[in-house]
Structure 1
Amino acid sequence: MTDLGINVNQNNRDSGYSMHDLISRLYPICRSITGNGVRKTLSIIKEIIPLNAVEVPSGTKVLNWEVPDEWNITDAWIKDPDGKKILDFKQLNLHVLNYSTPIDKEVDLNELKSHIYTLPEHENWVPYRTSYYSRKWGFCMSHKQFLGL
């Protein structure tokens, strides 16, 4: 089979489509090192390869590490004064500080900015930040979006 002048084996093409389908299923899942996102991810992977998943309780010491509390999130957002969402977890799960504690309150812009993480050297990138062992809330956004607040 020929595609743009390059010989492509049908099995390779099918494998490519299969990988794309797999990534399309896995990418949207909000996962960290514990929680329902990990379980869902492993369940999907088990459809492809044999896998024996073992759950280890939070607080368990593993060498020099401690398994953190389980973290599950369903929604998060920041709304402007007019009630319009300017940041939405359902649009991009990186928008929330991984392991963020819940918050449901109005805050002024200065307080909000103190809880936002960006990458100033990459103004269009949204960072992946975590807070496994430090109880705090926060959001992540592009530095360009941060400057527009």
Structure 2
Amino acid sequence: MHRLRCFALCATLLCPSPLLAATVFRCEDPGGHITFTLQGCSEAQDLQLHRAHNPTPGSGQPVPLAQTGKTTRTRSQAKPSAPLVVGEQGDGCGNRVTGSARRTAMIRQQVLAGMTRSDVESALGKPDKISTQNGRTRYHYRDREGSSRQISFDDAGCVKGKP
């Protein structure tokens, strides 16, 4: 029986009742240092009382964290009439192949002029052989039937178009 009473006492002490509102003392010393406390302020500090209301989640209406105000637009903030392009991602090949055409070619396992080496490897896989001559690279592919295919790249690493 003694253990049961001890357990009940410990459970009561460990489960504090929720504080929904409290009075908080705002103490400011002559140096401007501000302290918030529940115990009160010393005689040398300036005292102000604040009521802190901390509702539990879901206990009623939402409490706004900040008051929103109407913004005004000045002349310097006016929207520009034409779109402004700050930066554009380049693929090193002059962006000759658009994103949708590149994806379609990769799905169909086709190679278009202006694709990069990584685009070709994404479409056809790793080459069977790579040859380099005068700084220009060629990928050699051989399929199961024995037919071969060569893809030539220029100095920038872009697929060359047919002359």
Q: Specify which structure has the higher proportion of strand.
A: 2
Normalised by the length of structure 1, the TM-score is 0.19
| Greater RCO (CA < 8 Å, at least 6 residues apart) | 1
Q: Specify which structure has the higher proportion of helix.
A: 1
Normalised by the length of structure 2, the TM-score is 0.18
Larger Rg: 2
